[in-house]
């Protein structure tokens, strides 16, 4: 079971949902994120919609096939 605040990534759309959740939780707009990354706002929107291209989709499928899972969680503060 995945703890609250973490996302299990099975498909590209799951990663997009995690990106959107953590971006909005941080109080960052799509425009601000795009400016910080040097990309357009529409690119951020595409990522949040799970549109990453076939390479990510194939990588996620392969990881599932070999018995792995991908989990997105906030970084822990360094003490």
Phi-psi region of 29 (alpha: psi -120 to 50; beta: other; left: phi over 0): beta
- Residue 71: its pLDDT value, please? 92
Asked, for residue 78, whether it belongs to a domain, the answer is no
Domain, as residue range, for 21: 7-72
pLDDT tens for the 79 residues of the chain, in order:
878 888 899 999 999 999 999 999 999 999 999 999 999 999 999 999 999 888 888 889 888 888 899 999 888 766 6
- Residue 17: its pLDDT value, please? 92
Q: List the CATH number of the domain containing 46.
A: 1.10.260.40
Determine contact, residues 72/7, Cβ cutoff 8 Å. yes
Q: How many domains does the chain have?
A: 1
Q: Report CA torsion sign: 35, 39, 42, 44.
A: negative
Asked, for residue 57, whether it belongs to a domain, the answer is yes
- Residue 5: its pLDDT value, please? 81
Asked, for residue 1, whether it belongs to a domain, the answer is no
Asked, for residue 13, whether it belongs to a domain, the answer is yes
Asked, for residue 59, whether it belongs to a domain, the answer is yes
- Residue 61: its pLDDT value, please? 87
Both tokens of residue 9?
Answer: 């990534």
Distance in angstroms (rounded) separating the CA atoms of residues 24 and 26: 5
Burial of 65 (0-12, 13-18, 19+ CB in 10 A): exposed
């Amino acid at each position: 079971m995945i703890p609250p605040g973490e996302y299990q990534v099975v498909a590209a759309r799951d990663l997009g949902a995690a990106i959107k959740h953590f971006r909005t939780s941080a109080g960052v707009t799509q425009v601000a994120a795009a400016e910080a990354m040097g990309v357009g706002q529409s690119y951020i929107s595409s990522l949040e919609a799970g549109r990453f291209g076939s390479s990510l989709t194939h990588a996620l499928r392969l990881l599932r096939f070999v018995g792995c899972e991908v989990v997105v969680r906030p970084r822990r503060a360094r003490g």
